[in-house]
Structure 1
Amino acid sequence: MTRKEFIADQGAERIDQFLTRQYPEFSRAKIQRAIAKGNIEINGKIVLEKSHVIHSTDHISAVIELPTLIPQPHLDIPIVYEDDSILVIDKPPGIAVHPNPGQKKDSIAGWLLGRYPQLAAVGEGAFRPGIVHRLDADTSGLLVVAKTQGAFKFLKKQFQSRTIEKEYAALIHGALHPTHGVFDQPIGRKTGQARLQAGIGREARTEYWVKKEYRLPRIDGPVSAGGRAGGEIDIFTLVRVLLHTGRTHQIRVHFAAAGHPVAGDLVYGGRFKSRDRLLFPRQFLHAVKLSLPLPGGRKKEFKSQLPQDLQVCLNQLTISRPHDSR
């Protein structure tokens, strides 16, 4: 076991919520068990209550057992850019950034450790070698990784000061009005619930621009089993999304709360989930652009094309109305 030290910087917050953010690879239940065992100290005193509230500048000391990460150099991960300090990759869908404890599935962390063994000493432990931000397993696209501890600290600071721009392409259900807007709702999790929701929690800001509207005759039953087009029309909208904050599931939660869940999202998709299983292999979300200052001082922009599986999904739809809101 390794002891890690943190300084609270978000104001009043439950200790289990704080530690869940620090250890995103762990469930809140595991974090709560560590608290109950007396593995967490706040300002030098052991805390046993998961609901204990911490405040800015509180010093947290945690001992939580990290699982062993298996190196996976065999994975085919496209490299977009590389220098002595950073690495930018184009993450394929279906691969987690780091696996859940106890799992032996493919992961970006495993690939990094296999291809760049020295990254075990970069970042916040060998389980997260050089990783400064994440994408959901079913989200594809651009991800930046630090190759040195100096670059790691630099990139973490840039994310905290919001000088790094992350832009996504998403296909959402329904016609979106207005064609340019901002979702400015906090995101958090109610006690006892696994899913995140809008309206509670931490500040979250998502800006969008409508690019195109699509139409599709509604299919009754699996196409492979002879499903027929019904009389109703499903409408989808392709949007460009800019994140001003970086909360877990932020895009998915904000659009779902607005009544326009991301196509193919089987967690937040609501009444669309059963039909989406017939049309989409995964959630339609791709990190298309990443703009960031490099440790050397200059700023650089990286782009990624829509992957083939999502392009195939668009090809089965009919363009109803093009837009140029951005």
Structure 2
Amino acid sequence: MRLATPSGFATEVFLLEAPDKGLLPDGHWTLVGDMRLREAWTGAGMPEPGDALWVTVPEEEKKLRTVIPWLEHWARVPLHRDATVVALGGGVVSDLVGLGAALYLRGVAWQVWPTTLLAMADASLGGKTGADLAAGKNLVGAFHPPKRLVACTGFLKDLPARHLENGRWELIKTALILGEMAWAMEMLQDGPVRFAWVERALAYKAGVVHRDPREAGERRLLNLGHTLGHALEAASGYRLLHGEAVGLGLLGACLLAEEQGLKSFPPDLLDLLVRRLTPLAPLIAPWPACLPLLHRDKKAKRASGHTEEAPATEIHCILPRPGESAIQRALAPRVWEVPHARLIDLLDREAHRA
């Protein structure tokens, strides 16, 4: 089915059970796909261009150096301006293929066929492409929306349980942005991910992106959980998956909101968050490893009066509120120290109870 999106939205969005070759581009197209999906793709009767690239890209290789050989390959084919690149895989593949499409010939069309729940719920929609630098995540990138997003839920059947959980956190993020505690608690319960949750999260994100395509205001709300989450992810040496780090960041954001004097969260919600996140406790880096990464976050900015020895930065922090939409506040990175400590304490207590 085709998802309803705002009039004039840059990306057509389809949610299907199985892939449909009728949704592939007209004219010349090529593919960059995750090697692990090649058999599933061809087994579903989907065409495989002769110049396709089947790749293996772990999280730590989400770098510019990974994209350059793809650009060279497209130039040798050669790929012309009227061609389309199809990305098949998870968030790392879609971010890098989208970046490559933005760079090649100063921008060629592309489609994204996300195959993980995380990519379906977040990375595939919105036009953000990116690569990581040693200093932090997604510090290189471009806004280059795909022409079409085709999410086939059948690809999720063979996804490991940890990766399904990884994507669930981006869905929970949407509920917390909206302040919908009942929806958040529903998704925090044990049980399978529902198709309707993905549909609703994509529809919400499409509306936000359409109103604020360049992240000048409202779209920053989509960073809920990512401020502390990105720091935890990088400080763990990427042993934390992205969605897991976002989940920890969501709990941290709830705690920070309370520290900032906003409305307290229902204890039942916090208990569910803590229980789901407790297995990740051993992967949480100490605060001194996180603070430098927060200073280098792409949402951070220099404030007046900074010095080389003590950079006085501010960072756009997204604070959730029960029953109301999340809000934005520019705060010093150090405000995360207490929520970081409380997060560790809550998870440790839960681990000892269990």
TM-score range for the pair, normalised by the shorter chain length: under 0.3
Query: TM (normalized to structure 1)?
Result: 0.26
- Structure with more of its chain in helix, by fraction: 2
